[in-house]
Structure 1
């Protein structure tokens, strides 16, 4: 494949991926370039086609969406380290309701885990019932891939998220 052809394909991919309304899936002229990309990604040695003229390099990938307000990305609820937990695949928040007379001793082991509503795990900190950390699965992005496109006039970069589902 000649460099000009790769650059042309990369620019087609960039234009289609950056299309928000409608998304590339609803733009028939985008289907050949994007389907070619999806097929090429399955092959060993795949390299993203780029579009230097478009102010963007290779795309990034963010699997997880932001945590809800008041929660922060977290590795997990366990004290030991696993590669999967380094992904910040959970959201967590510290809850401290120990002010005033809310303190009640808890009987049981430190760091008891209780599942609440099937989605939130509460981990108690020590032998009390008023201080704990809650963990929840971090939401997945509907559009995990993105291009950062630089505006030549302002110099600012704008992030455009997209997915590769047909």
Structure 2
């Protein structure tokens, strides 16, 4: 399916004029980001439209080029990937004025009480090792919550595209790195 979508995208991009109007430019951008193998970076016809987009995004009053025919407006943005299996997303650890509400960490509860022996830790104690943090909440301290940094997406932007034939939405992730 992705290969067919990429082939159709490449064909349609080649048909678009070089000096496309705003909505044509939006459709050209949409077709380029739909390319997955190779990504838009590997499609020479996509470079002008995507470079134009990246430059335009830095200008004051930037408005994302849309593609009404493709059913796509402004894309979404998800900085973080899903947490690994068994972990759930949670807010960052920052406190105070600069605290963030974004779900930038992953957490899981660990119950390591089988064969438990005192480790000399108390409720509220924290430890850090190998990128994982632990906060001990209960006595005995064999049950704790483990935290880790949430992985960042390589392709944080996305479009949700509706497919009328399957009556489903597909999410197309892409990046805007040059």
Fold shared by both chains (TM-score > 0.5): yes
Is 1:91 the counterpart of 2:98? The answer is no
Structure 2 matches for 1:1-166, cutoff 5 A?
5-77=21-93, 84-99=99-114, 101-102=115-116, 104=118, 106-108=120-122, 110-117=123-130, 119-166=131-178
Q: Does the 8 A contact of 2:137 with 2:144 survive in 1?
A: yes
Question: Normalising by the residue count of structure 1, what TM-score does the alignment of the two structures yield?
Answer: 0.87
Secondary structure of 1:12's counterpart equals helix
Paired residues, number: 159
TM-score of the two chains, using structure 2 as the length reference: 0.82
Q: Give the superposed CA RMSD.
A: 2.0
Whether the 8 Å contact between 2:121 and 2:141 is mirrored in structure 1 is no
Alignment gaps of 5+ in structure 2: 1-19
Q: Which has the higher contact order (CA 8 A, sep 6+)?
A: 1
Show structure 1 runs of 4+ deviating over 2 A.
80-85, 103-108, 126-129, 152-155
How far, CA to CA, are the matches of 2:44 and 2:119 in structure 1?
A: 64
Paired residue secondary structure (1:33): helix
- 1:83 deviation in Å? 5.9
Whether the 8 Å contact between 1:95 and 1:134 is mirrored in structure 2 is: yes
